[in-house]
Structure formats: structure tokens, C-alpha cells
Structure 1
Amino acid sequence: MALPTFDEEELLQLLAEFVKLESRFILNSPGYSLYLQPAIIGTSAFRGVHRPSSALLYVIANHTGEFGDKKLGANYAPCIVPQQEAALRGFQQNLRLFGKEDYITEVGTMNLFIAIRDGKNNKELLTAPLDGTILNGVTRSSVLELSRERLVPKGWVVSERKYTMSEFAQAAQRGQLIEVFGTGTAAVICPVRTISYKGMLVDCGLSIGEEAGEITCQMRRWIEDIQYCNIEHEWGYLA
């Protein structure tokens, strides 16, 4: 290769120190590791094909493992083609389901909230738990805190728990699905009208001509009142 040589033992010592430094970012669990890729490139400042007089030796470190709960480009890239396919079928977003159980996780780049009632008319607002498969969204946290502060006193139960798509479809069929909405920094609160699942359209509780449900609208008002400093709140910041 005609590249300058280096001391192999010294490189190993440098790699060992580098690994010690980076180890704080690696979880001590099976499936997590630090993938090291040493590389060397010529850095001589001339054109043409010549023997380089100088070179740069560097290491690329990739943290491998489960990073579904991190806002990484690698988590978004695989979603582009499915999103295009959904758009061709007339849908705006893809709902992400996990495992053979089809656990509901996220919708597009948003967290998802589901409002349901049981046979005794007890109401629950639920969202997927932070188990490493979803983003810990700021708007998600805001909705949970506001819900526990303002909906729980009205008899609501606010939950972070696993919920399957089959349970969702059954709740809709029984008339127990109240409404569904997504949450995100850009969209804030986004209502969901229908979800396609295994060839059937599942209605998400909105009546004809209704753009958003009562809880969806209420939650958006609560958050926007804080954002626009219409009310005094500890989250508000007026510049």
C-alpha cells in the first residue's frame, strides 16, 4: 500500500485506552458491544498517484445494540420505503407494531395515545411503555404529566403499558375505543381517524365530519396555552 508504518503495540495500547474511555456508553448486557474499525489514509498534499509522505491513522467506533429508543438516522432510514408504500395506498403514516403479538409502539415519528373505556364506562388513556423500543418523546412526557394532573381527578386512568393491535381492534368493534392521537414536537397533537390492519379499516372513534376528539382537542389546548404563555406554568418561558 506504500503507506507509512506504525507501531502495532503502541496502537493496541491506544485502542485499549480508547475502549476504556468509550465503555461508559456501552450497556453491560448481552447484545451490546463496541465495534472498532481502525483505518489509515494518506494525507500528502499533492495530486496524482504517489507514495504518501504522511498518513492519518484513526479509529471509527460504533456502539452496537438496541437503540430503538434513540433519535438516530439509522432508525428512520428503514421507514422511508414503507412510508412511500403507505402514501400510495392513501395513508399518511405507518403504525409500528412489535413482535408476534403486534404490540402498538409508534406512528410515523410520533408517540401514540389511545383513549378507551371498559364495560363499566371506566376511561383509560394509555401509551406504550419506555421499554427500549420507542422514543421517550418530550410531548409524550408532557401529555402524560398533564393527563395525570387534569384527567385523573375526573376519574380517568393514565397508563404506560403494552397494548396489542388485536385488543385495539376488539375495543373498536365493541364501541369502547374513544379516540386516538399521536404526539410529537412538530405535530404537537395529531388525531387519527382510521387504521388499516390485516385488510380491514379500524375506526378510531371520530364521527363523520369530526376532525379530532374531545381529549385530543383538550390536550392540544392545554399544551398550546403553555407554549404561547397564555397561562402561567412552570414549563413556560417568555423570551
Structure 2
Amino acid sequence: MPPSAAPPTVPNGRGDADLTSAAVEHIMAENGLSTGSTNGHQHIHTPSGHGSGVSRPNLQDIDASKLTYTFTTLSRGVPPPDVHSIDGATVCTDHMITVKWTSKSGWETPELRPYGPLALMPTASVLHYATECFEGLKAYRGFDGKLRLFRPDCNAARLLTSSLRISLPAFSPAEVEKLIIALMAVDGPKWLPRDRPGSFIYLRPTFIGTQAQLGVQAPSEALLYIIASYMPILDRPPGGLKLHTSPDDMVRAWVGGFGYAKVGANYGPSLLATAEARARGFGQILWLYGSEAYCTEAGASNFFVVWKNKEGRTELVTAPLDDRLILPGVTRRSVLQFAREHLAGEVEVVERPYTIQDVIDADSEGRLLETFAAGTAYFVCPVSLIHHRGQDIQIPMGKAGEGGLYSLKLKKWLADVMYGNVEHPWGVVVQERR
């Protein structure tokens, strides 16, 4: 909005109370985007037509059709399937995509170029004010030989939500999705070879403020980049995932904060407690919130419980999104959609607050059936134990010890889409460049 423009009016006199949400709405409207919400999920609506993500004159939106290609001249071999890092550095593919933005001209031409270091000034905004957000999704080599992404539109839309929360510029999510697909079209054939069906690569779109000026302000320069890397399989820890509940003196996210946005500031402060939990033999923290000790997330994954309620009905329960406390995970969203579709009449899907005491009570009364974490990194990972204030809650792991009935069903349905065992709109096929 130009400095001379009058401030926008806010209906019902809510402007003083809703500064953050009002600011996001203003930016979305200014850029020709609109948001909607269904059952706590935020959706980004972009008008059809090229360049429709930016309505202001003289500012350029991201245009994936103008992507330039500079291919690497270095020949790096693809490591064995179980090698994910070398000398403490993550193994990444040959190329990355970068797009610069400035407040004067908008988005510049996207570039696909060799993977390598970024150049930042020591006073760059991201290094001082945490103007950074990112996404995580995977590309999958299907058993039918095809290369797929899983719901990349959801990740692109969530990246926009996160960027606006930390005053980074808006963009058309559909253009970012096209850039993600373009990177995989180039690097997928080599780094996810056809002789490794059932394998995956992790993609990390990242957005940072780069303006080289100290001062607490929205950056006037930014950089969006997309990289792809290997990562280990995390959804099958021996004996199941063991969780330690969060300490009383630490909280990961809070109502009115930014837990719903995938920003780096959500993760650094959690590392201390997580390291201590792992030193005690646990895989992750089950983050509790408030004096009531509401269950929120398991590490950086969404957390689910399957139990019989006191009326005897089977419920799949997870924390809600309406208070914006937790991250609206793409895997979470998919689990709930599949459960509502395939388990209707058998399992009731419930999104509501529930406490660790509710879990303890269900266990002591023989109503606790299974629990699992769900996210891009951990996929659908069964939880076998929760340790809370000196008490161990043992979670059933099924006859084979690999997880409960419903978590395994949901896991299989999702994997079938990801790896091409079934055709589904969520599995986006990448046309590979050979």
C-alpha cells in the first residue's frame, strides 16, 4: 500500500484486536489472492490467468514459464540408498531453483542452477530477525516407474501462509508448485532412478529475507530457493516411537503465536528439550499446552490417538486447527480425509482439544487402542510409549508389533497413492527430462 493511501477500514471495529489477521487479509487482497477456511484448513484461491497473483502495477509475480536453466558441469555419483549425509552435510541433488524478489520490481526471473552456496551479507534480515520459512515434501519413485509428488499444491499454499506471517512477500502458489515440479523433472531421473522403486527424495522450498540492513522491519529484498535432498526413513523405529512429554518450563507454540506457520523460529527453541529426551532413550517430545496439558504435536509432527470413547464408539482424535496452535500438516489433512472416506461408520473422526490426562484415563480404563505421529518426515509412525511425569503409558502395537490396525490401514492407503499403486489426484506425476 503506498504511504499516501488511507488505512483500510476493518468491519465491526475489530481492527485493534485483530492486527495480524487483518494485515494478512490486506496483503492477500492487495495481491489478488483470497483465503477461505473449511474445518480449520486455510485454502488459497488464485484467480485464473498468468500473473494474476499480483494486482499492483509494476510488480511482477513469480512466472515459472520463464525459468532459465544452467546445468551443472560436475559429475557426482548417486550414493547408496542408506547414505543420506557425507561428512556431516546432507546429500543434495545436482541443482536448485532460486528466485529473487525486491519491493521495487517484484519477482525476478526464476533460475535452475547448480546446487551450491548462497551469498548473504552479515546484516541480512534472516540472520537477525528470523524472516525465514520453509516447506517439506517428498518426490516418490513409484512401483510403476513413474515419478510423483504428493499434494504439492498444499505445500505451496502453506508456504504462502507462512511467508505472510513473517512479512515476506506474497506470490502465486501455483507458480511455486510449477517450480517444484521443474526441479524434479531435471534431477528426478538421476537421483531417484527407476531401479530404486519405492524410494523418495525430500524437497525443501525455503524463503528468506535478504535485505542487508539492520532494523526491525519487513525486508525489502528476499530469496526463494528450492533444494532436494536425501533423508532417512523415519516411520519404522524399532519397537515404535517413544515419546517424552514436554517439561513444565517449556512450550513449543502458543495460541496467538505462529505454531500454524512453518517458520524456522518454531524449531530452534525446541532442540534443547528434544536432545535431553533423546539422551533418556526417547525419540521425540509430545508437546503439551497450558495448565490443562493439552496434547498438541509429537516433535514436529501431528499427533493422533485412537480410542474407545466412554460410550463405546471408536474415535480417531487429533488436536484442532481453529486456535492456530499447531501446524496444519499435509499428511494430517490427508489422514483425516482418508479416514472420513474409508472408515465412515467404523471410526468417528474428531478434531478437538484433549489432554494427556484423557490419554492416561483411556489407558487405565482399557479404551486406548493406538497412537501415531504423522508428518512428511515421519510419515505415519506408530507410537509405542508415552512417558509422562514418571509414568509410562504403554501403547498397543498390533499383533505384528508394527502398529495398530487403523494407523497401518491409513499408512497403506497413503503409500499406495505416493508410489502409484493406485491412481489418485493427490499423486502428481512429473514428466521427467531425460
Q: TM-score range by the shorter chain?
A: 0.7 to 0.9
Q: Which runs of 4+ in 1 moved over 3 A?
A: 16-21, 27-34, 56-60
Gaps of 5+ in 1: 1-13, 22-26, 35-55
Q: Report the more deviating stretch, 107-116 or 204-213.
A: 204-213
Question: Are positions 1:61 and 2:217 aligned together?
Answer: yes
Deviations 1:87-133 (A, max 9, x none): 11110000000100000000001000100013453100010000211
Match of 2:393 among 202, 219, 224: 202
**Equivalent pair of 2:396/2:403 in contact (CA under 8 Å):** no
Offset at residue 58 of structure 1 (A): 7.3
Q: CA deviation at 1:205?
A: 2.1
Aligned to 1:51: none
The residue correspondences of 1:86-125 to structure 2 (distance < 5 A) are 86-125=277-316
Task: After superposition, give the CA deviation of every residue in 1:38-82 in whole Å (9 maximum; x if it has no partner).
Answer: xxxxxxxxxxxxxxxxxx97754269x621111111111110100
CA distance in 1, matches of 2:406, 2:368: 12
Q: 1:19 Cα shift? A: 11
RMSD: 2.9
Q: Does 1:220 align with 2:411?
A: yes
Relative to structure 1, is the Cα distance of residues 18 and 206 closer, same or farther in structure 2, using a 3 angstrom cutoff?
A: farther
Which of 157, 163, 168 is the aligned partner of 2:354? 163
The match for 2:377 is 186
Distance 1:89 1:145 in 2: 36
How many residue pairs get aligned? The number is 198
Determine helix, strand or coil for the equivalent of 2:407. Answer: helix
CA distance in 1, matches of 2:422, 2:330: 20
1:20 positional shift: 6.4
For the residues of structure 2 that align with 1:29 and 1:195, how far apart are their CA atoms? 42
Q: Which moved more, 1:138-147 or 1:185-194?
A: 185-194
Amino acid at match of 1:140: R
The structure whose RCO (Cα within 8 Å, separation 6+) is larger is 2
Amino acid paired to 1:112: F
CA separation of 1:30 and 1:169: change in aligned 2, threshold 3 A: same
Aligned to 1:151: 343
Percent identity reads 37
- Partners of 2:257 and 2:359 in 1: how far apart? 27
Question: Quick check: which one's helix share is greater?
Answer: 1
3-state SS of 1:190 partner: strand
Task: Answer yes or no: is the 8 Å Cα contact 1:229–1:238 preserved in 2.
Answer: no
Tell me the amino acid that sits aligned with residue 333 of structure 2. Answer: S
Q: Distance in 2 between matches of 1:177 and 1:228?
A: 31
CA contact (8 A) 1:172 1:205 kept: no
- Change in 2 beyond 3 A, CA 1:17/1:106: farther
Aligned equivalents of 1:180, 1:114: Cα separation in 2: 4
CA distance 1:60–1:121, change in 2 (3 Å): same
- The higher radius of gyration belongs to 1
Per the TM alignment, residue 146 of structure 1 is displaced from its structure 2 partner at its CA by 0.1
Unpaired segments ≥5 residues, structure 2:
9-13, 24-211, 220-255
State yes or no: 1:133 paired with 2:312: no
